[in-house]
Amino acid sequence: MAHDATLEMPAKKLWGGGTSPFGASYGKLMMWFFLISDAFTFSTLLIALGYARHVHADSWPLVEEVFYHFPFTHAHLPLLYVGLMTFILIISSVTMVLAVDAGHTNNKKGVLFWLGLTVVGGLVFLGSQAWEWYTFIVGGEGVMKTVIVDGQAKEILVQGANLQYNEYGHTQFADFFFFITGFHGFHVFSGVVINAIIWWQAAEGVYEKRGHYEMVEKAGLYWHFVDLVWVFVFTFFYLL
Amino acid sequence: MEHSTEIDQSYEYSKPHSRTPEEGRAVRKKILMVTALLSVITIVEVLIGIYYSKTHVSPGTWQAIKWFYIVLTLVKAGYIVLVFMHLGDERKNLRTTILLPMVLVIYFIFICIFEGNNILQYVQDILK
């Protein structure tokens, strides 16, 4: 957070050297710049998805007819599981905010508690995603489809999904599912690893010795960004 | 060496500050309010998705729902970036530096959706 005393400064003095014109430390600034570039990467993925959807509008499946499974039940519950995943990620984002807030008052116990919960939330999300992938790949009854096998067109029973064909609709539907949620899941995974390392360092008292918990804030920026991306994936892949 | 290459940045770090319990409560209350808002928006989105499926409504209604989804998403994104990531508390020049490049994304969306629709039209015309 910027210091209030330096918030309003004349531009000449701001850029005159000796102080950060942005009122942020080097590390935090670089985390923001990394997030901008990462935002562009995810934007291109989602825009490519939009392009494919519009080109193959006639063979794109109804997404709520694909994702209607829920663990421990065979009921038809469209979108509910994805909604739950979104909720899990939002909650883990909230625990991260509380960890950052605890860091602002040098509250080591608070940081450890909330950051620990954030790591748990991230792991729960990854587990949910693994289940969703499993359900998607295994599939249901399957449909008869004409596919190219060894250069020849053949009519086969297609069940579930792989990168060549899937029972739900156009090939690119499954490809985009694997790529976008996979790329996001990898971000969640690295976020969990980073948070775990920082939890460990906080427990060791590294930040107490340093006098500030800004590292928690930087990891927090990354973690919130992962949540932010999921908000967009949820809308543009699942809802529209 | 005249100038030290090591620049002391310690005064730029987010230093811990003492605050009254009331201030702490106010911060946590704001976080909880935003959490509730984000959850409610997600629930609304899921309910619309379940009860107003693309196949059950007219194309015009679906178009309206689509835009409603996009608005809700942007509201959610705004709260995450401005409150959870504390961008709202940063200096104005930092806010602009981070948010302004995203204008390019809007232009790119326009190009790709426009092009996608045209290619679909073209392919359908050929097959006719």
Q: Which of B53, B69, B91 lies nearest to residue A235, judging by beta carbons?
A: B69
Q: How far is B91 from chain A (nearest CA, A)?
A: 6
> Are B75 and B96 found together in one domain?
no
Judging contacts by C-beta atoms under 8 Å, the chain B residues touching residue A21 are 93
Largest CA-CA distance found in chain B, in angstroms, rounded: 78
The 3-state DSSP class for residue A24 equals coil
Q: What is the least distance, in Å, from the CA of B70 to any CA of chain A?
A: 7
Q: How many CB atoms lie within 10 A of CB A26?
A: 12
In a domain, B65, yes or no: yes
Same domain, B125 and B74: no
Is B106 within the bounds of a domain?
yes
Alpha carbon of A155 to those of A146, A147, A148, A149: distances in Å? Answer: 4, 6, 9, 9
What CA–CA distances, in Å, run from A175 to A162, A239, B112?
8, 18, 18
- Flag whether B100 is in a domain: yes
B85 and B117 both lie in a single domain: no
| CA–CA gap between residue B54 and residue A240 (Å, rounded) | 9
Residue B31 in any domain: the answer is yes
DSSP H/E element including A27: helix A26-55
Distance from CA of A156 to the nearest CA of B (A): 25
Evaluate the CA torsion angle A172, A177, A182, A183 in order and state its sign. positive
Interchain CB distance below 8 Å, A228 and B54: no
Asked if A176 reaches chain B (Cβ–Cβ under 8 Å), the answer is: no
Please give the interface size between A and B, counted as residue pairs whose CB atoms are below 8 Å apart: 176
Residues of A in contact with B76 (CB under 8 A): 231
Residue B31 has pLDDT above 70, yes or no: yes
Q: Is B54 on the interface with A (CB under 8 A)?
A: yes
Nearest CB partner across the interface for A104, out of B14, B55, B115: B14
End-to-end C-alpha distance for chain B, whole angstroms: 78
Q: Binning pLDDT at 50, 70 and 90, where does residue B11 land?
A: low
User: What is the rounded distance in angstroms from the CA atom of residue A44 to the CA atom of residue A103?
Assistant: 35
- Of all residues in chain B, the one with the smallest CA distance to A25 is B12
B107 conformational bin, left if phi > 0, alpha if psi -120 to 50, beta if neither = alpha
Asked if the Cβ–Cβ distance from A104 to B80 is below 8 Å, we say no
Are both B65 and B46 inside the same structural domain? yes
Structure tokens at B53: 């499926």
B122 in contact with A, Cβ within 8 Å: no
Whose tokens are 């990620």? That residue is A89
The amino acid present at A189, given as its one-letter code, is F
* Closest CA–CA distance from residue A177 to any residue of chain B (Å): 18
Instruction: Verify whether the Cβ–Cβ distance A39 to B102 is below 8 Å.
Output: yes
d(CA A212, CA A204): 14
Q: What is the mean pLDDT of chain A?
A: 89
Select from B42, B101, B120 the Cβ nearest to the Cβ of A86.
Answer: B42
Tokens standing for A156?
Answer: 């086969």
Q: Are residues B60 and B31 in the same domain?
A: yes
Within-domain flag for B47: yes
In order along its 240 residues, chain A shows pLDDT tens digits of: 444 445 556 777 778 777 788 888 888 999 999 999 999 999 999 999 999 999 998 889 988 888 888 888 888 888 899 999 999 999 999 999 999 999 988 899 999 999 999 999 999 999 999 999 999 999 888 888 888 878 888 888 888 898 888 899 899 999 999 999 999 999 999 999 999 999 999 999 999 898 889 999 999 999 999 999 999 999 999 988
Name A73's bridge partners: A70
Residue A143: which residues within 8 A CB-CB, separation 6 or more? A157, A158, A167
Residues B29 and B81 grouped into a single domain: yes
Segment B39-48 long-range contacts (CB within 8 Å, at least 24 positions apart): B39/A87, B39/A90, B41/B72, B41/B75, B41/B76, B42/A83, B42/A86, B42/A87, B42/A90, B42/A234, B42/B76, B43/A83, B44/B72, B45/A83, B45/A234, B45/A235, B45/A239, B45/B69, B45/B72, B46/A79, B46/A80, B46/A82, B46/A83
Does B28 contact A at CB distance below 8 Å? yes
Nearest CA in chain B to A36: B98
Does residue B16 fall inside a structural domain? Answer: no
Is the domain of B85 the same as that of B104?
A: no
* B110 & B74 share domain: no
* DSSP assignments along A64-123, one per residue: GGT---BTTB-S--TTHHHHHHHHHHHHHHHHHHHHHHHHHTT-HHHHHHHHHHHHHHHH
| Least Cα separation, residue B121 to chain A (angstroms) | 8
- Tell me: the pLDDT tens digits for A13-40? 778 777 788 888 888 999 999 999 999 9
Could you give the number of structural domains in chain B? 2
Q: Do B26 and B83 sit in the same domain of this protein? A: yes
* B80 is a domain residue: yes
Q: Looking at the structure, do residues B27 and B80 belong to the same domain, yes or no?
A: yes
Q: What value does the mean pLDDT of chain B take?
A: 86
Q: Does B40 touch chain A (CB under 8 A)?
A: no
Could you list the residue range(s) of the whole structural domain that residue B102 is in?
92-128
Measured in angstroms, the CA of A110 and the nearest CA of chain B are apart by 13
Q: Are residues B27 and B82 in the same domain?
A: yes
User: Cα separation of A94 and A119, whole Å?
Assistant: 12
Contact B16 A80 (CB under 8 A): no
In tens, the pLDDT along B54-105 reads 888 888 899 999 999 999 999 999 999 999 998 988 888 899 999 999 999 9
Domains and CATH numbers, chain A: 4-239 (1.20.120.80)
Residues of B in contact with A103 (CB under 8 A): 16
Measured CA to CA, the distance from residue B30 to residue A112 in angstroms comes to: 21
Nearest-angstrom CA–CA distance, B53 and B63: 12
- Element (DSSP H or E) covering residue A156: strand A152-158
Prediction ipTM score: 0.87
Q: Tell me: do B98 and B65 sit in the same domain.
A: no
- Does residue B123 lie in a domain region? yes
